[in-house]
Chain A
Amino acid sequence: MQTRHWLQRPWVWWLFLLPVLLFSLSMGSVSLSLDQLFKPDTITYGIVWHLRLPRALNAILVGGSLALAGLLIQNMVKNPLADPYLLGVSGGAASCQLLVIMLGLTVSQAALFFIGFGGSLLATLLVLKLSYHGRIKPNKVTLNGVVMAFGFAAVISFMLSLADGQQIRSMMFWLMGDLSFAQPSWLMGVLLIFCYVLLQRQHSALDLLARGELFARKSGVHAERLNLMVFLMTALLTSMAVAQAGTIGFVGLIIPHIVRLLVGYQHRHLLPISILAGALFLLIADTLARTLLSPVQLPVGIFTALIGVPVFLVLSRKI
Chain B
Amino acid sequence: MLTAQHISVTLDNRRVLSDLSCAFSAGEFWGIIGQNGAGKSTLLRCLSGLITPDVGQVMVDGENMHQLDPLSRAQKVAYLMQEQEPSLAFSVYQAVEMGRYPWPDDPDNRHHITEQMLQECRIENLQNRSILQLSGGERRKVEIATCLAQNSDYLLLDEPFNHLDVVYQRFLVRKLQAISRKKSVVMVCHDLDVVQKYCTHVLMLLGGDCYLSGDSATMLNNAHMDKLFDEPI
Residues of chain A having any CB pair with chain B under 8 Å: 1, 78, 204-205, 207-208, 210-212, 214-215, 217-223, 260, 264-266
Contact = CB atoms under 8 A, between A and B. Distances in A.
Interface of B: 48, 50, 69-71, 73-75, 79, 81, 84-85, 87-91, 94-95, 98-99, 101-102, 128-130, 150
A208 B75 CA distance: 16
A78 B69 CA distance: 25
Nearest to B76: A220
B189 to A, nearest CB: 19
Given A218-B48, A218-B50, A220-B70, A211 B101 contact: no
A156 B185 CA distance: 60
Given A205-B101, A211-B87, A221-B70, 13 more contacts: A1-B89, A1-B130, A204-B98, A207-B94, A208-B98, A210-B90, A211-B95, A212-B84, A215-B81, A219-B150, A220-B101, A220-B102, A265-B88
B10 to A, nearest CB: 15
Contacts of B88: 210-211, 260, 265
A260 B87 CA distance: 14
B128 A1 contact: yes
Contacts of B101: 204-205, 208, 219-221
A1 B91 contact: yes
A215 B85 CA distance: 8
A214 B90 CA distance: 17
A215 B84 contact: yes
29 contacts: A1-B128, A204-B101, A208-B98, A210-B88, A211-B84, A211-B88, A211-B90, A211-B95, A212-B85, A214-B85, A215-B81, A215-B84, A215-B85, A217-B70, A218-B79, A219-B74, A219-B98, A219-B101, A219-B150, A220-B70, A220-B71, A220-B73, A220-B75, A222-B69, A222-B70, A265-B88, A265-B90, A265-B94, A266-B94
Between B69, B75, B84, B101, the greatest number of chain A beta carbons within 10 A of the residue's beta carbon is seen for B101
A188 B90 CA distance: 32
A79 to B, nearest CB: 12
Contacts of A215: 81, 84-85, 87
Contact of A217 (B50, B94, B95): B50
Contacts of B98: 204, 207-208, 211, 219
Nearest to B131: A211
A215 B78 CA distance: 11
A203 B88 CA distance: 15
B29 to A, nearest CB: 21
A269 to B, nearest CB: 11
A260 B132 CA distance: 15
Contacts of A211: 84-85, 87-88, 90, 95, 98
A245 to B, nearest CB: 30
Instruction: Identify the 4 closest CB pairs spanning chains A and B, nearest first.
Output: A220-B74, A212-B85, A220-B102, A211-B87
